[in-house]
Amino acid sequence: MIFNSIEFLIFFLIIFITYWCLNKKPLVFQNILLLVASYFFYGWWDWRFLGLIAFSTIIDFYIGKILSKTKQSKKRKILLFSSLAINLGFLGFFKYFNFFINSFEELLQNLGINFDTWTLKIILPVGISFYTFQTMSYTIDVYKEKIKHTDNFISFAVFVSFFPQLVAGPIERASNLLPQFQKKRKFNLKQSINGCSLIVYGFFKKIVIADRLAIYVNSVFNNVETANTISLIIAAVFFAFQIYADFSGYSLIARGISKLIGFELMINFNKPYLATNISDFWRRWHISLSTWFKDYLYIPLGGNRVSKKRNYYNLMIVFVTSGLWHGANWTFVIWGFLHGLFQIIYLNFIRKSRTKSSENKFRNFIKVVFVFTIVTLAWIFFRAENLNHAIVYFEKLIQFDLSFNLNQITAQKGPLNLLLSFLAIILLYLTYLFPKDLKFKKEGQNITFIIIFILLIFIIGVNGKEEFIYFQF
C-alpha cells in the first residue's frame, strides 16, 4: 500500500475517523488502533514479515527493561550487544546475504578459481533499514542512559511500527516520538490544515516533479549506449532533482499524516541543493539518517576528537557504511566512498582556505553550483543498476558527443515531456521561497496553497502509482 493510491486514501480515512472518535476513551484505545493500523499497513506488502518486526519489537522492549535494572557494566554490554546482533543480523541476512555470496564468487572467478556458490531467493522486507535503525537507537540510548526505558509495550510497539514513517522514515528517535504516544492528543484544526498543506506539497513533489522527471531519466538510463552527452547530462541533473523531490515528498506526506493524528515528526530535508559545501549538504539531506550515523557511529569511533588521519578514517567508515545501508550493490558502496572522499577533501583543503569574502553572493552561488555538480555526478552511481552500467554511463559522458539529435536529446519521449520536466524543476525552486514548514503568517493562506497545488497536481501531474524510490531500502 503506497501513499499515492486509492487503497491508502480509503485506509487512512477509516483510521482518521475512528481515531478521533476514540478521543474521549482512555489513550490506550487510540494507541491500539494505531498499532493494528500499522501492522495492517505493513502486512499489505507481505504479511509474512509481520513476525520479523514483531520479534524485533519484543526483543528491544525487554532488553530495554532489563538494561534499566542492570548496573553491572559487563552485563549491560552483553545486553546491548545482543540487541545489536539480533537487529543487524536480520538486516544483514535479508539485505546482504546474496550480495556477499555473489561478490565472493566473482572474486574467486577473477582469481581463476571456479567455485559454485548457492544463494537463497530472499525477499527484502520493505522498510527494514528504517525500523531497524529506529529500534536500535532506543536500545543504545537506554544503555547510555540518555532516555528512560518504557514499561508501556503498546506505546513502544507503535513507536517501532508507526505507519506514516515506517517504510521510508524519517528515522525517529525515541526521545522525540515515544513520549508522544504516552500523552493525550487533542484534535487541532490549525495543525490539521498545516498537515494537509504538507501532504499536498509532498504529493506535488512526487507526482508533478519526481514522476515527471522519472520518464526522461528512465528512458536515458535504460538506453545509455545510444544516448549522447547532452541527454546524459540532462538525465543526471534530472535524477538529482527526482530523488530529492521523491524522497522529500515522502517525508512531507509522512509528517502531514502524522500531524492529522496529533504527532510531530522531525524535518528530514532543508533545501539541500542550496548547500555551499559538502558538509553543509549533509546537514540538509536526509537529516534523520545523517544525524543517526553521526550520533551512533561517527562519535563512538572518536569523531573529530582524534588525530587527523583517524578522523578521515572515521569519515570514510561512516559514508561507506551509509552507502551500504542504502542497498546491497557496489554502486552504493562507491557512492558512499565518493561522499567520504568529498568530505575529506573539503576538510583538508577547501575549508582552510575560506575567508570573509566567501560571504559574497556570487561566490556562494558558484559554491552552490559546484556542490550540486559533484553530488549529481555521485548520484549516477546511485541510480545505475550495477557497476558496469555506471562505467558505461561515464564513458559515454566524457566522449563529449555534442551533436544535435532531437530524438536523443528528448529521449524518444518528445519535446513536450522535456519542457514539462524543466517546468517542474522551475516550480520546485520557486517553492524554495515558501516559509519553513509551510506555516504561513495569515489565516487562509494554507487553504489557498492547498487549492493551487491540488490544481497543479491534476493539470501537470503524471498519472500512475509509482512507488517511492526509498521503498527499496
Instruction: Indicate whether 408 pLDDT > 70.
Output: no
CA distance 210 to 421: 9
CA-to-CA distance for 115 and 117, rounded, in angstroms? 6
pLDDT at 473 over 60: yes
> Do 465 and 337 reside in the same domain of the chain?
yes
Residue 54 domain-assigned?
yes
Question: Would you state the cell numbers that stand for residue 260, as one nine-digit string?
Answer: 492529522
Residues 285 and 302 in one domain: yes
- Are residues 329 and 268 part of one domain? yes
Q: Which three cell numbers stand for residue 114?
A: 571456479
Asked which of 185, 220, 250 is the last residue of a domain, the reply is: 185
At residue 102, the pLDDT reads: 66
**Total number of domains in the chain:** 2
What are the pLDDT digits (tens) for 315-373? Answer: 999 999 999 888 878 999 999 999 999 999 988 776 655 555 456 788 888 999 999 99
- Residue whose C-alpha cell is 501532504: 199
Contact 353, 340 (CB under 8 A): no
Q: Are residues 82 and 211 in the same domain?
A: no
From 156, 185, 214, the end of a domain falls on: 185
End position of a domain, from candidates 185, 203, 221: 185
Enzyme catalytic residues: 326
Q: How confident is the model at residue 404, as a pLDDT?
A: 61
Taking the alpha carbons of 395, 398, 403, 409 in that order, is the dihedral positive or negative? positive
Q: How confident is the model at residue 100 (pLDDT cuts 50, 70, 90)?
A: low
Cα–Cα dist 130/126, whole Å: 9
Mean pLDDT score of the chain, rounded to an integer?
Answer: 86
Shared domain for 423 and 452, answered yes or no, is yes
**pLDDT over threshold 90, residue 391:** yes
**Do the domain assignments include residue 269?**
yes
Q: To the nearest whole percent, how much of the chain has pLDDT over 90?
A: 52
Residues 107 and 215 reside in one and the same domain? no
Which residues have C-beta within 8 Å of that of residue 48, sequence separation ≥ 6? Answer: none
Mark whether 330 and 386 lie in a shared domain: yes
Amino acid sitting at position 273: Y
Q: Find out whether 470 and 243 touch, Cβ atoms under 8 Å.
A: no
Residue 406 has a pLDDT of: 66
CA quadruple 103, 109, 110, 112: dihedral, nearest 10: 150
Integer angstrom CA distances of residue 259 from 264, 266, 436, 460: 6, 11, 16, 27
Short-list 38, 68, 70, CA closest to 54: 38
Which of these, 414, 384, 432, lies nearest to 205 by C-alpha position? 432
Q: Do 131 and 202 belong together in one domain?
A: no
Cell matching residue 92:
544483514
Complete DSSP assignment for 63-118:
HHHHHHH---HHHHHHHHHHHHHHHHHHHHHHHHHHHHHHHHHHHHHHTT------
Same domain, yes or no, for 240 and 142?
A: no
Q: Are residues 12 and 128 in the same domain?
A: yes
8 Å CB contact between 274 and 215: no
Rounded mean pLDDT of 419-443? 79
pTM, to two decimals: 0.89
Q: Is residue 1 included in any domain, yes or no?
A: no
Q: What are phi and psi of 149, to 5 degrees?
A: -70, 160
User: What local confidence, expressed as pLDDT, does residue 105 receive?
Assistant: 62
Give residue 171's domain range: 6-185
Q: Are residues 96 and 227 in the same domain?
A: no
Q: Of 282, 273, 130, 209, whose CA–CA distance to 457 is shortest?
A: 209
> What is the percent of the chain with per-residue pLDDT over 70, rounded to a whole number?
88
Could you write out the DSSP letters of every residue in 227-238? --HHHHHHHHHH
Planar angle of CA 109, 115, 119, nearest 5 degrees: 105
Q: Is the dihedral of CA 55, 58, 61, 62 positive or negative?
A: negative
Q: Which residue, 76, 73, 125, 72, is CA-closest to 96? A: 125
C-alpha span between 428 and 205 (Å, rounded): 8
